[in-house]
Amino acid sequence: MAQLWGGRFTKETDKLVFNFNASISFDQKLLKQDLEGSIAHAVMLGRQGILKKEESRQLVAQLRAMAAQLEAGELEVPQTYEDVHSFVEAVLIERLGDIGKKIHTGRSRNDQVALDMRMYTRMEIRQIDGLLEELLKTILTIMKNHIQTIMPGFTHLQKAQPVTLAHHMGAYFEMFKRDRLRMRDIYGRMNYSPLGSGALAGTTYTVNRSFTAEALGFYGPCLNSMDGVSDRDYLIELLSALATAMMHLSRFSEEIILWNSNEYQFVEIDDAYSTGSSIMPQKKNPDIAELVRGKTGRVYGALFSLLTTMKGIPLAYNKDMQEDKELTFDAIDTAKGCLALFNGMLASLQFCPQNMRASAALGFTNATDVADYLVKKGVPFRDAHGIVGKIVLDCIEKNIAIEQMPLDQLQAASPAFGSDIYQAVSMETCVNQRLTIGAPGKEAMEQAILAEEKYLEESGFPQEDWEGALLEGALDEWLP
Ligand code: ARG
């Protein structure tokens, strides 16, 4: 049990207390960020004359050596330390003696952990954005290939009107696009550095917060040191955005499960993304889609846990906040895993256009268009609605589609019917006459696809020159 704060204590910490309090088992995920943040802090201490340049230089050299060991998988993290911050300081002391003891000058673990967590989250936001981008590309490819693939559109899970597969996929494109925009949005609000906030009230050393903020790729320092150490809004925002993205994945999964069922047969999930049954030899189950749907609950849970944890915490730092890590790490890892797997499943999904078209044709999905035909011939809409309702009833009895009903029988229902009705209510006409912005008609869909393509071209996070730079020699001019 190695702790930073033995001085004012006269007894050893109880073993159970130590374990309950310790976070090393999970916050070692922040090791790289802790090293980068410590390098920026050490350089700044030398630059400001708070430490001698030589001391600062040695600290930076050792921190970089640790980062190289970490990269090579050669840095063992003993679980006897309280947390990742204690571990890093202990190694510096072991390697540098008294100089190592100076790294924590003008710094608290409170601003340190707040910094590490922001840097970690920031990196993950960029990765999640990349995964969402990949998924959008897959969806767009399906859209381009299926502008003319007719399928039933549903409301209340009842066949409603004919749409196309491109149109249905386009709805998911919009959802995941918004998920990406939320990542950008959160990034823009959270990318401010808490380093230099101290424990809560800043510090009496002449630390340069703007210098460390810029070196670490932040837009600037956070403007209130109490808020700097105790703000976890950005994690709540991220968990909320991930919960929403998971909700979208879950809805999509639910549709794929339905479409893959014996009753629908709209799609066939690739063997690589299906599983079998231990007893029923015929089964090919959509387990991956079901698991994505199921894991949505975990991410919702993380959001609600953190909201609840934060709601009673007085300013500034309190240990409750340590709970933010496991929740956030699990939600991020879950969402990233689901995005990657779902994308693979979608990219290899086989669509069955004939079954989709047959389903649309046999479901009276053109009934609205038959009514609209009568309206164009001068029948008031409400009357047309009633006439077509009666025709549908008749068709159900005869087990035929409306367009299979002979003209004389249609004319018996309304004299406004002419022989042009059959062309007017074919599936193709029904879809392709829907040309309002956002509708499934061919030209409208092509416009939408162009707009989504343009969005994708301009959408990525820019590569930043600070990424990894501190581990490789950035700022060395301050430590000659
Ligand atoms: N492990 C702690 C956390 O995750 C680090 C900060 C500890 N600060 C403190 N005053 N005990 O929140």
pLDDT tens-place string over residues 278-327: 888 887 899 999 999 999 999 999 999 999 999 999 999 999 999 999 99
Q: Which of 277, 385, 419, 426 is catalytic?
A: 277
Q: Find the range with the poorest average confidence among 185-199, 214-228, 263-277, 314-328.
A: 263-277
Measured between alpha carbons, how far is residue 199 from residues 86, 109, 114, 117, 121 in Å? 15, 7, 11, 16, 21
Is the distance from CB of 259 to CB of 267 less than 8 angstroms?
yes
Looking at residue 351, what DSSP letter applies? E
What proportion of the chain, given as a percentage, has pLDDT over 70? 100
Distance, in Å, from the CA atom of 195 to the CA atom of 217, rounded to the nearest integer, reads 12
Give the pLDDT band of residue 185 (cuts 50, 70, 90): very high
Active site residue 277: yes
Strands 267-268 and 350-351: antiparallel
Task: Compute and round to an integer the Cα radius of gyration of the chain.
Answer: 31
Mean pLDDT for 127-148 is 98
Contacts of 149 (CB under 8 A, 6+ apart): 164, 165, 166, 351, 353, 356, 357
What integer pLDDT is reported at residue 405 of this predicted model?
Answer: 96
Distance, in Å, from the CA atom of 406 to the CA atom of 161, rounded to the nearest integer, reads 22
Q: Which of 41, 104, 156, 250 is catalytic?
A: 156
Distance, in Å, from the CA atom of 436 to the CA atom of 414, rounded to the nearest integer, reads 29
Distance, in Å, from the CA atom of 379 to the CA atom of 383, rounded to the nearest integer, reads 7
212 pLDDT above the threshold of 70: yes
Q: What is the pLDDT of residues 322-351, one digit of tens each?
A: 999 999 999 999 999 999 999 999 999 999
Candidate of 113, 118, 313, 318 to mutate for ligand 1, largest count of ligand atoms within 8 Å of Cβ: 113
Distance 191 CA to ligand 1 centre (A): 21
* Residue nearest ligand 1's atom 2 by CA: 322
Is the distance from CB of 1 to CB of 78 less than 8 angstroms?
no
6 pLDDT above the threshold of 80: no
Distance 96 CA to ligand 1 centre (A): 24
Among candidate residues 452, 439, 440, 445, the one with its CA nearest the CA of residue 136 = 452
Give the pLDDT band of residue 8 (cuts 50, 70, 90): confident
Mean pLDDT for 354-374 is 95
Distance, in Å, from the CA atom of 464 to the CA atom of 461, rounded to the nearest integer, reads 9
Mean pLDDT for 367-375 is 96
Q: What is the pLDDT of residues 441-473, one digit of tens each?
A: 999 999 999 999 999 999 989 888 888 899 998
Instruction: Give the up-direction half-sphere exposure of residue 354: CA atoms within 13 A in the CB hemisphere.
Output: 0
Q: Mean pLDDT over all residues of the chain?
A: 96
Q: What is the pLDDT of residues 14-60, one digit of tens each?
A: 899 999 999 999 999 999 999 999 999 999 999 999 999 999 999 99
* 324 CA closest ligand 1 atom index: 4
Is the distance from CB of 80 to CB of 4 less than 8 angstroms?
no
Match 């494109």 to its residue by tokens.
173
Contacts of 258 (CB under 8 A, 6+ apart): 264
As given in the structure block, the two tokens for residue 331 are: 């939600």
Give the pLDDT band of residue 90 (cuts 50, 70, 90): very high
End-to-end CA distance of the chain: 38
Contacts of 441 (CB under 8 A, 6+ apart): 431, 432, 433, 434, 435
Distance 351 CA to ligand 1 centre (A): 52
What integer pLDDT is reported at residue 280 of this predicted model?
Answer: 82
259 pLDDT above the threshold of 90: yes
What integer pLDDT is reported at residue 1 of this predicted model?
Answer: 65
2 pLDDT above the threshold of 80: no
Backbone angles phi, psi at 159, to 5 degrees: -60, 135
Give the pLDDT band of residue 5 (cuts 50, 70, 90): confident
Candidate of 87, 322, 326 to mutate for ligand 1, largest count of ligand atoms within 8 Å of Cβ: 322
Q: Note the Cα 258 to chain centre separation in Å.
A: 24
92 pLDDT above the threshold of 80: yes
Looking at residue 476, what DSSP letter applies? G
* Residue nearest ligand 1's atom 4 by CA: 322
Give the pLDDT band of residue 480 (cuts 50, 70, 90): confident
Active site residue 156: yes
Distance, in Å, from the CA atom of 187 to the CA atom of 129, rounded to the nearest integer, reads 11
* 199 CA closest ligand 1 atom index: 10
Mean pLDDT for 343-365 is 96
